[in-house]
Amino acid sequence: MYTIVKIAGKQYKTSAGDEIIVDKLDGEKGKVEFTDVLLVSDGDKVIVGTPNVSDVKVIGEIVEQIKGDKVRVAKYKAKVRYRRVTGFRPMLTKVKITGISGVEGETKKEIKSKPLKAKKTEKSKVTKV
């Protein structure tokens, strides 16, 4: 079973036991819940939210706050010996997904898509002359 979760404006594919690295989340080590679940799948059934799947939460645990790899930014102007290099290390959070709550059995309910039907228009009555 896996879910697609929206965390800090980005989407991540998660399942129980995964460790994901996301942009920095406020808070110390401990539990965290993500309620913006966009999709739930168990292999056979797929539930797609509109926009979110209701009553489903992904429960995780903040493992550590880390710094990412350095991103080098370079400025260069031709013919004038101008070169500048700066670096940037983004703050990241490592989260371990401990479980998915709100899903009974494997999936809570199936969402059936109904085909759209065009509205019938009134037919004009033709009289024979």
The token pair at 120 is: 């019938």
Q: Could you state, in order of their start, the residue ranges of all structural domains in the chain?
A: 2-101
Q: Which of 61-70, 77-86, 107-116 has the lowest mean pLDDT?
A: 107-116
Terminal C-alpha separation, the chain: 69
Instruction: Tell me the whole-structure pTM to 2 decimals.
Output: 0.71
Is 103 in contact with 109 (CB distance < 8 Å)? no
Cα(110)–Cα(51) distance, rounded to whole angstroms?
16
Over residues 17-44, the pLDDT tens digits come to 999 999 999 988 999 999 999 999 988 8
Is 97 or 112 the better-scoring residue by pLDDT? 97
Residues 6 or more apart whose Cβ sits within 8 Å of residue 109: 47
